[in-house]
Structure formats: C-alpha cells, structure tokens
Amino acid sequence: MALRRIRIFGDPVLRGRAQEVEVFGSDLEELVQDMFETMYHAQGIGLAAPQIGLSVRVMVVDVPESEEEEGGRFALVNPRIVEVDAQTDRAAEGCLSIPGLEEIVERPASVVVEGSDPDGARVRVQATGLLSRALQHEVDHLDGVLFLDRVSALKRRMLLKKWKKAQTEAVTP
C-alpha cells in the first residue's frame, strides 16, 4: 500500500469523464487499498481515482455510522446512480482536491448506486444522509464534476476568488 498524491483544483484530470474499468485483478485491488490509505491520511470520507490522477471509474467512501444516520465503507468500480429521491437536502461540502473551501450544496436526499466491488461482484447501495451525499460527490468526480459546479454562479465566483487568494498567499512568503 502506498499514499498517492491528491490532485488539486486546476489539474485537467479532475474535469474529464473517467473511463470504465474492464480488468479486475490484483492491480485494481492495490489501487483500492492505496485509495483508502490516501483518503484516511487526508482525513476524508471519500476519494475518486481522478483525484489521484487516474482517469478510471473507481471510488472509495467510508462514512461513520451515527445514531442519526447510516454509514458504510465501500469501494465501487464503475458506479452509476440509478435512483434519486425527489426530496433534496442542503448541507456543507468540501473536497480533498479543493482544500480550504466549503459551501452548501443541494443534492437528492437519498440515492441508489450500482456498480461492482474490486473483485467484480455486483453491488447495490441504498443510501441516505451523509453516505448518500458522499456517494453522489464521488460519482460526480468520475464524471468530471466538482462541488463548485453545484452552487450558484455568484457563489462559485466568490469561492474561486477565495481559492485564488489562498493559493497566492500560500506561494508568497
């Protein structure tokens, strides 16, 4: 297992649609383990392969269970959202690829995601709450969509201005 470098906003790999995985095996298992290790090291709850520079449809999530919400640890290959709730929920989101930014994002309150596990077995996940939000956020990454794309144009401009300022300050001694 190895830590992978998380790609930061502006890297073109974050904006492309990731390719379907066709070969399951030890390389995929190793990738998934590296992704979990990288996600935990960065203190995240989800990570998609494009965030570590690989344009393949692989994602991992680990959302702790609480008294109020379900949780779960999943590695999904070629995931697809197949059902969404008409009811929506608004909550703050951040992203390991856009550190330091957070904004309220509206998403369906629950989803059903289908895909495969790293061994190729079919998986179907029904999720609500934070788990639903994390799954949707990571599937978005596989489609080249960032949480910034899910806020109003005004909020996006404000967030991008804040991001550019933070990047300038990080470079300036």
Q: Enumerate the active-site residues.
A: 138
What is residue 5's DSSP assignment? P
CA distance 63 to 140: 17
**The pairing of beta strand 88-94 with beta strand 72-84:** unpaired
CA distance 103 to 91: 8
- What is the chain's length? 173
Closest CA to 111 of 96, 130, 91: 130
What is residue 33's DSSP assignment? H
Query: In the 3-class helix/strand/coil scheme, how is 35-88 assigned residue by residue?
Result: HHHHHHHCCCCEEEHHHHCCCECEEEEEECCCCCCCCEEEEEEEEEEEEECCCE
